Structure 1
Amino acid sequence: MGNTKESSAAVLPALMRLPEVEAVTRKRKGAIYLAMSQGTFPKPVRIGGRAVAWKGSSIQAWIDGLEGA
């Protein structure tokens, strides 16, 4: 078996919309936005006039950081 960090990083898309972020992190919208305001969760990038997405690499780094906590 390989390193799970490497294999999980490979499956995350480059950009993730909120439903994908909720599914991967097991956090709901309110918890995500609260953590962002507290500086403990990555902020999204604007991809359109009113649309945002999170970088998959940022979400993966956040997940990896949980493993050390």
Structure 2
Amino acid sequence: MEQRKGLVRWPQVRERTGLSRTTVWRRVNEGSFPAPVRISAQLVAWRAADLDAWEASLQPIGTAGSKVAA
């Protein structure tokens, strides 16, 4: 099957994020992960730009709320 430009299918989402399918769908439902677009009745994909923006919004572990001692 031909991949549409700018759309990312599940195997690439898993590879990019390291998240399980269950975790991705839970986060989609919570609004903390980009929602996919429906391509056909049984096929969804994510916009690459949405995944890029989500990845850019992540904070490295240990930086949220950390203070530097003077």
Unpaired runs of 5+ in structure 2?
65-70
Q: Percent identity?
A: 33
Structure with more helix by fraction: 1
What's the C-alpha RMSD, in Å, of the aligned pairs?
1.6
After superposing on structure 2, the runs of 4+ consecutive aligned residues of structure 1 that deviate more than 2 Å are none
Report the counterpart of residue 11 of structure 2 in structure 1.
19
- Greater C-alpha Rg: 2
Mapping for residues 32-47 of structure 1, pairs under 5 Å: 32-47=24-39
Give SS of 1:37's match.
helix
Q: TM-score, normalised by structure 2?
A: 0.74
Structure with more strand by fraction: 2
Q: Which has the higher contact order (CA 8 A, sep 6+)?
A: 1
How many equivalent residue pairs? 57
Unpaired runs of 5+ in structure 1?
1-12
